[in-house]
Chains A and B, each alone.
Chain A
Amino acid sequence: MTPNPSSRAAEPNADQQRAARREVFQYAVRRFGVYLFTLWAAITVAFFIFRLVPGDPMNILLGNLTRAEGRQRDAAEQEVIIARYRQIFGVDDPLPLQYLNYLRKAFLGGLDLGPSFVEYPAPTRDLVFRRMPWTIGIFTTSVLLAWFIGTGLGALIGWLQRSQLSKLAVVISTLLQITPVYLVALGLIIYVGYTWRILPAGGPYARHLQPEWTWEFISSLLTHAILPMLSNIIVIGAGFTLGMRALMISVLGEDYLTFARAKGLSPFTVLKDYAFRNALIPQVTALAIIVGATLNGTFIIEVLFQLPGLGTLFVQAMGLRDFNTMQAVVLFSIFAVLTLTLIVDLALPLLDPRIRRLA
């Protein structure tokens, strides 16, 4: 009756097992349906929002052309240009038709996300695919590292709440979490990059190299990645540490831990099997969210370290109201966040047997 983890010891019979498996299967199917619906809804909402944002890309494009040519064009010339680009970008159709065309091309046309304004005539898809390796390689990886470090550290600090060292650790991570990431990154650039000259402080790799499988290129790539990753790990890791600590403290106050202690389990077993496991659930959820957020949320680090990531692309696209590119970047981040939360939701029952009863 009590959904205590120890009740797993009871041997269920075959029927129960089969029923349970069916329940889990139904839960998974239902969850997947919700996932598909949310994905569609988010993409749809994003599509319309981007096209309703004030600011007309055609005007901005004309502004660029005018600057290029150094003279004002007359109205007739402007109309010709605008008519052409409106046709290329398919914005003459009514919005619902544009929307259907977009979905058709994106999902049936081999992920054709339309042309981009940012680098016309480059297709939006190419732009996103060219930037994505940097975002994933540097930012997503550093979030994962930050998560592991932060979760471990947070659990430890929460567990040893009363020790002086842990209080100091809390203060330090509080400082780091709220320090604008810009200051952390700039600090690393100034000291590690220029004053002490330990590591290169800008660019994805040395400027004269081209991507190829040589040791020179790979080592350049790796050394250039350290500082941006470190800035990310420091700030995000501090956040995860504090979050985990707060969660641990919540969990530590619960009765069953007292029971577990009373049962004579070793402190480490209590930490590992009871407290940690329970505190982990929201922490995993937070990871999914933040991993997704890095897909378009690390603009400042990208700018300071001159990395060609998706954050910069999104900001550039916003600046030109290039809705195709904005939409493409957001599409990937929507996809990433929702897929990760799906995985988390499906995996949570494994972590927390109590949620399994929901299914």
Chain B
Amino acid sequence: MRNPSIIIGLIMLTLMVLVALAGPAFVSQTLFPGERPGMRGSYRPYQLDSVEHPIGTDGDGRDGLMVFVSSIWPSLQIGLIAGATSTGLGVVIGFLAGYARGRLDTLARILIDMVLVIPTLPLLLMLAAYIERWDLYKLSLILGIFGWSFVARVIRPQVQSLRERSYVDLAVLSGENPLEIIFLELLPPLLPYIGYVFSLSIVGSMLAEAGLQIIGLGAGGLPTLGFMIAKGFRESVIAIGLLGQMLLPAGALIYVFLALNLINTGLDEVFNPRLKTTIEGGD
């Protein structure tokens, strides 16, 4: 189990979580004792990088660094909840559609295709009329619910293809029930791909969440990495010269994705030992 990829990935993630949890208190106590660096209107907006404000102040008059560190934890939560929801839903529906035949498959396909082609933005705006108060969990669930169709669409043909293989036929003949077949025969070979899709969904939701906040569906002024990027774009922070306010949140997203992918790669290597032989043969 001592796979270096997994270990590095886990260390990276742990560090991130530590920064997310301890960062806000640390930054406000060491850099701004007695001030309110995270409150809007505390400072003159758009100050360039300085000793007091390492990445400047943002357009709302907050300290940029403080906004950044406070954004990480909500973003991680959103990413995890939304990513798990969309991947989970997508895999379940993808497997159902791929494994089932006839009407159920057709129905699932129509559903997947429709959710895929109808743009989510107007749907969300419609939904917003019915949701009084947004919070982090509602936001994440909504993101997850709207993100499954891509996962389902790419999983379905793979399941279809796998279920026609000889070993699946063999399993059917030997009397395994469909659930056993799905979990024991069909799921394992797809795990690396699902893992990749999962890490993509996590980071994708962290980015997509910004889109919701901008149109007013956000969790009421909650600081997040995605929102920081979107706000930076809207307020042209790069042109102003506040590079840190754009590169730090973007870097944090890349960092999380990289860590997740390392873990994913490592897990492949551990749980897919056949891989090794084939690949070494291929070299």
Contacts and interface: CB of A to CB of B under 8 A. Distances in A.
Do the two shown chains form a genuine complex with each other?
A: yes
Contact of A159 (B114, B253, B254, B282): B282
A115 interface: no
B10 interface: no
Contacts of B233: 182, 300
Given A296-B119, A355-B161, A253 B283 contact: no
Contact of B196 (A41, A45, A242): A242
A258 B278 contact: yes
A121 interface: no
Given A49-B118, A249-B192, A337-B116, A289 B164 contact: no
Contact of A285 (B154, B254, B258, B279): B154
Interface string A309-331: 00000100010000000100010
A186 B236 CA distance: 11
Interface centre among B161, B190, B278 (most CB of A within 10 A): B278
Interface stretch (A11-19, A104-112, A142-150, A173-181): A173-181
Nearest to B164: A354
B189 A253 contact: yes
B227 to A, nearest CB: 13
Interface residues of A, number: 73
Interface residues of B, number: 62
A104 B117 CA distance: 22
Interface in B147-204: 150, 153-155, 157-158, 160-161, 164-167, 189-193, 195-196, 200, 203
B196 A243 contact: yes
Interface in B133-159: 150, 153-155, 157-158
Contacts of A118: none
A338 B117 contact: yes
A141 interface: no
A55 to B, nearest CB: 7
B66 interface: no
Nearest to A46: B118
Contact residues of B: prevailing secondary structure? helix
A86 interface: no
B157 A355 contact: yes
Contacts of A159: 279, 282
Contacts of A46: 118-119
Given A3-B164, A175-B254, A182-B233, A170 B123 contact: no
A252 interface: yes
A228 B200 CA distance: 24
Contacts of A348: 157
A300 to B, nearest CB: 8
B119 A330 contact: yes
B268 interface: yes
Nearest to A337: B117
Interface centre among A45, A53, A54, A246 (most CB of B within 10 A): A246
A55 B125 contact: yes
Given A183-B246, A246-B193, A45 B268 contact: no
Contact of A38 (B113, B193, B247, B261): B113
Contacts of B278: 252-253, 257-258, 261
B2 interface: no
Contacts of B116: 289, 292, 337
A273 interface: no
A2 interface: yes
Contacts of B69: none
B164 A334 contact: no
B118 A38 contact: no
Given A253-B272, A258-B274, A289-B153, A38 B114 contact: yes
Nearest to A254: B189
Interface in A164-193: 170-171, 174-175, 177-180, 182-183, 186
A174 B258 contact: yes
B106 interface: yes
B33 interface: no
B110 interface: yes
Interface in A230-263: 239, 242-243, 246-247, 249-250, 252-255, 257-258, 261
Nearest to A330: B119
A116 interface: no
Contacts of A98: none
Contact of B190 (A243, A250, A292): A250
18 contacts: A34-B110, A45-B114, A53-B125, A54-B128, A170-B265, A246-B196, A249-B192, A255-B274, A271-B282, A278-B161, A282-B154, A282-B155, A318-B121, A330-B119, A333-B119, A348-B157, A354-B164, A354-B165
Interface of B: 101, 106, 109-110, 113-114, 116-119, 121-123, 125-126, 128-129, 150, 153-155, 157-158, 160-161, 164-167, 189-193, 195-196, 200, 203, 207, 229, 233, 238, 246-247, 250, 253-254, 257-258, 261, 265, 268, 272, 274-275, 277-283
